A and B are shown apart, each in its own frame.
Chain A
Amino acid sequence: MRKIIKVNRQLQKNIIGYIFSTPYFLFTIAIWLYPFIWGLIISFKRWNLISPTSTWVGLGNYLEVLQDPILWVIIRNSVYFMIVFVGLTTITSLGVALLINQIPKFKSFFVIGFLLSFVSSGVAYSVVFNILFASDGLINNILNIFGVKVGWFTNPSIAMASIALVVSWKFTGYYALFFLSGLNNIPKAIYEAARIDGANPWQSFFKITVPLLNPTFVMIIVFATITSFNLFAEPYMITGGGPMNATKTMMLEIYNRVFEFLQVGYGSTLAIVSAIITFIFVCIFKKLVERDVYV
């Protein structure tokens, strides 16, 4: 009897739980699972988006993608972006977090200020940065005083680094939040103990702060890696993938293939391949960077 009552109570709780979870499950199926399966099926077909019929080509799209030189150009561009973006954003966001951590009052105000860049429209700030870094823009006008002129978005060697600069501006505040949270979780007692043992601020930073922030570093590197392979708005708005394909990214190529060339099967294949490559890079970086941390 007690067992029956217990089971009934559990069943009641379960039903209520299912009721509240159902909208989320339906949303996930509609927005993620269904498009994923549909995209996977389309990657084995040749279809031009507007025709009612498609042709089954099996692994034909995958072979074409792997043999396409542009795939390796895109991977190279994404790795270049990743190196600049991860390096720049990690340093700036950690710096911002350390500075905000020192502020005794109105911390939230400063946090919100830095977060504004993250919530601003990618299209809008891309246009602004394009004007700012133009050959007759403000930045080059200032550099011109020193006799320097930089083709920020027109020099193939540095165009991707310039895009990384723009995207770093967007994510610095957001990643600073993670670092700030990580810093707040480090017990103050450790710093006090280190001070007593004669450690200077730099030693405290490199021997205590950095190792204990390892989980945060791992999380940011994973997010940044995913961002590197999902980059679209900035190269789309600023460079169009040029010059000389120097800023062509996977998402941009997928977009061009599907919506300009009407090669939906090829585009879907690129999306699947992109997901696999991103996963591989995330695993590699996690393996290289992640350490067990005990406090």
Chain B
Amino acid sequence: MCVDLKNKKRSIKMFKKTVVCLLMLMMLLGFAGITQAKSVEFWVGADPRETAFWTRIFTEWDETHPDLKIDWRPAPTGKSGEEVLLTAIATGTGPDLSTGIFAGFAFQLMENDILVPFNKFEGFEELLEARSMTNIVKKAWGYKGDYYVLPMYTNPIAFWWNKDVLDELGIDVPRTYSDVLKLAALYNDPKSGKYTLYTRFTPSWWHRWQDFCAHYYAATGGKPYWDDQKVYFNDENGLKYMEFINTMFRKEYSPLEDIQDAIQKGNVIGGINKGPWSIKPTREKYPDFNYVIAPPLVPDSFPLDKPIYTFADTKGISMLTKDMEKQEVIWEFLKWLFSDSKHDVIWLEETTMLPSREDVTTNPVFSDFLGNHPKLAEYAKLLPYAIPPPLNAKTAELQTAFNELVWEPIAYGKKSPKEALADAEVALNKILQR
């Protein structure tokens, strides 16, 4: 009996020791977390071209500012940068500074007090002036008098046309919807995989920027397709464009599938292209591909002497940390980054995306680079007419609904353009009012 009691006491003692050891281990790990030094965490785009840019930037920054440590890394991969960043913010693992912020996403973050306004820091106006982006920022990135995003780049959405095929057919670069229909009558042959125009990508909501928004801006001279109160796309211009799209699909002038490099591979003569970042990989993968860059198509009645507007795929940098020390480090970094135009030349070299500056086509610092990159220079000509998306926190939901109510029913012949646009107007206005 005494032996059993002793054994029992021994087991309870062992159990208590185990629990105490585990608790101590947990405390030590927690303490290790607390004593880790605070450093600024900066997420950049996961694209290898952007990573190459930031590598060069931080090599210089670390040499010239060894006391101001910034830990930068590509953002975790996901279907979209916005989803990744939102998840990180929700779980408390978000960065202090992040790139890849577009206007609608910034609006969502601003409304929830996630972002820190840059205009509260000394030297804000001077920074805008130094980078020649005062009008760009003040026009498109303000929220209740504050500015929470410093735009990094602006990519105008443009069309690419296969120059060799157009020359063979003896046709000029198409400008209007009718020009494309005439071209299709000469060239189209879906049975042998030859289509005329690439009109859309995937159901992903951000592809509406390319396949609808750019064309609405083109047809209306840059008028918004919605604001935060109501939609405007159910008008003569929206209807004309979607009737054109309807014809393209009914007559099989456009493929229904998302085809990788459709224009470069010759599946289509032309169409909307994803952006100027395609220039470098196209040159490498399809060196013999001869193409021209043109603004989006316009209705037949569009005046010849009016400029054609397009969508500006533009994203920027935002500050998320509320820590004052980190804010100071970040502000020093941003002032250094944006005050030297040499950094934007590096950006051009590594990414072939246009920096968000008003003087890209006039500043001699960039003229050498653009002179050696004529395709990018074509995109730069569209910059003054490139308009960013409207500030709206429900951008993803609105554009998803637009795809489900307008694009797909028309592409698959389930609704007429008039019916589809009318249904979408009702549904999207409901979303905006909610």
Interface contact B86-A262, CB-CB below 8 Å? yes
Within 8 A of B (CB), among A198-256: 236, 239-245, 256
Stretch at the interface among B6-14, B154-162, B294-302: B6-14
B56 within 8 A of A: no
A24 within 8 A of B: no
Select from chain A the residue with minimum beta-carbon distance to B267: A136
Within 8 A of B (CB), among A7-21: 8-9, 11-12, 15-16, 19
A125-156 interface bits toward B, Cβ cutoff 8 Å, 1 = contact, 0 = none: 00000000011100000000000000101101
Cβ-defined partner of B408 (8 Å) among A243, A256, A262: A243
Interface contact B108-A12, CB-CB below 8 Å? no
Cβ-defined partner of A5 (8 Å) among B4, B18, B83, B411: B4
Interface contact B15-A12, CB-CB below 8 Å? no
Interface of B is mostly: helix
- How far is B90's CA from A204's CA once the two chains are assembled, in angstroms? 59
Cβ-defined partner of B202 (8 Å) among A134, A136, A240: A240
Select from chain B the residue with minimum beta-carbon distance to A153: B257
Select from chain A the residue with minimum beta-carbon distance to B8: A8
- How far is B403's CA from A1's CA once the two chains are assembled, in angstroms? 79
- Nearest Cβ distance between residue B264 and chain A, in whole angstroms? 13
Interface contact A151-B257, CB-CB below 8 Å? yes
Interface contact A50-B112, CB-CB below 8 Å? yes
Interface contact A245-B7, CB-CB below 8 Å? no
Q: Which residues of B are found within 8 Å of A12, using beta-carbon distances?
A: 7-8, 11
A49 within 8 A of B: yes
- Nearest Cβ distance between residue A141 and chain B, in whole angstroms? 10
- Nearest Cβ distance between residue A98 and chain B, in whole angstroms? 38
Interface contact B396-A261, CB-CB below 8 Å? yes
A48 within 8 A of B: yes
Interface contact B1-A5, CB-CB below 8 Å? yes
B75-101 interface bits toward A, Cβ cutoff 8 Å, 1 = contact, 0 = none: 000011011001101100000000000
Interface contact A50-B400, CB-CB below 8 Å? no
A31 within 8 A of B: no
A259 within 8 A of B: yes
Task: Tell whether A1 pairs with B259 under 8 Å between CB atoms, given A241-B203, A242-B203.
Answer: no
Select from chain A the residue with minimum beta-carbon distance to B193: A136
Within 8 A of B (CB), among A253-273: 256, 259-262
Interface contact A262-B203, CB-CB below 8 Å? no
B204 within 8 A of A: yes
Chain B interface residue count, Cβ-Cβ cutoff 8 angstroms: 43
Interface contact A243-B83, CB-CB below 8 Å? no
A173-214 interface bits toward B, Cβ cutoff 8 Å, 1 = contact, 0 = none: 000000000000000000000000000000000000000000
Select from chain A the residue with minimum beta-carbon distance to B409: A244
For chains A and B in complex, what number of residue pairs have CB atoms within 8 angstroms? 87
- How far is B17's CA from A15's CA once the two chains are assembled, in angstroms? 13
- Nearest Cβ distance between residue B398 and chain A, in whole angstroms? 10
Interface contact B396-A50, CB-CB below 8 Å? no
B72 within 8 A of A: no
Cβ-defined partner of A50 (8 Å) among B1, B11, B109, B394: B109
Interface contact B203-A15, CB-CB below 8 Å? no
Interface contact B259-A239, CB-CB below 8 Å? no
Q: Which residues of A are found within 8 Å of B12, using beta-carbon distances?
A: 15
Which of B18, B90, B267, B397 has the most A CB atoms < 10 Å from its CB?
B90
Interface contact A154-B257, CB-CB below 8 Å? yes
- Nearest Cβ distance between residue B129 and chain A, in whole angstroms? 33
- Nearest Cβ distance between residue A165 and chain B, in whole angstroms? 17
B223 within 8 A of A: no
B333 within 8 A of A: no
Q: Which residues of B are found within 8 Å of A151, using beta-carbon distances?
A: 256-257
Interface contact B193-A11, CB-CB below 8 Å? no
Cβ-defined partner of B203 (8 Å) among A16, A49, A134, A240: A240
Interface contact A259-B87, CB-CB below 8 Å? yes
Interface contact B400-A11, CB-CB below 8 Å? no
Q: Which residues of A are found within 8 Å of B404, using beta-carbon distances?
A: 244-245
Select from chain A the residue with minimum beta-carbon distance to B394: A261
Interface contact A50-B83, CB-CB below 8 Å? no
- How far is B205's CA from A9's CA once the two chains are assembled, in angstroms? 65
A103 within 8 A of B: no
- How far is B203's CA from A154's CA once the two chains are assembled, in angstroms? 11
- Nearest Cβ distance between residue B239 and chain A, in whole angstroms? 21
Q: Which residues of A are found within 8 Å of B403, using beta-carbon distances?
A: 242
Interface contact B8-A11, CB-CB below 8 Å? yes
B412 within 8 A of A: yes
Interface contact B5-A8, CB-CB below 8 Å? yes
A120 within 8 A of B: no
Q: Which residues of B are found within 8 Å of A5, using beta-carbon distances?
A: 1, 4
Interface contact A134-B86, CB-CB below 8 Å? no
- Nearest Cβ distance between residue B163 and chain A, in whole angstroms? 22
B275 within 8 A of A: no
Within 8 A of B (CB), among A30-54: 48-51
Interface contact B86-A49, CB-CB below 8 Å? yes
- How far is B401's CA from A188's CA once the two chains are assembled, in angstroms? 60
- 24 A-B Cβ contacts within 8 A? A5-B4, A12-B7, A15-B12, A15-B15, A16-B11, A19-B15, A19-B18, A49-B86, A50-B109, A134-B259, A135-B257, A136-B259, A151-B256, A153-B257, A154-B256, A240-B202, A240-B204, A243-B411, A244-B412, A259-B83, A259-B86, A260-B82, A261-B394, A261-B396
Going nearest first, the 4 A-B pairs with the smallest beta carbon separation are A242-B203, A240-B203, A260-B396, A261-B397
New contact pairs (18) apart from A12-B7, A48-B112, A243-B408, CB-CB < 8 Å:
A1-B1, A11-B8, A12-B11, A15-B11, A15-B15, A50-B109, A135-B193, A136-B193, A136-B267, A151-B257, A236-B79, A240-B203, A240-B204, A244-B409, A259-B83, A260-B80, A260-B400, A261-B400
Interface residues of A (CB under 8 A from B): 1, 4-5, 8-9, 11-12, 15-16, 19, 48-51, 134-136, 151, 153-154, 156, 236, 239-245, 256, 259-262
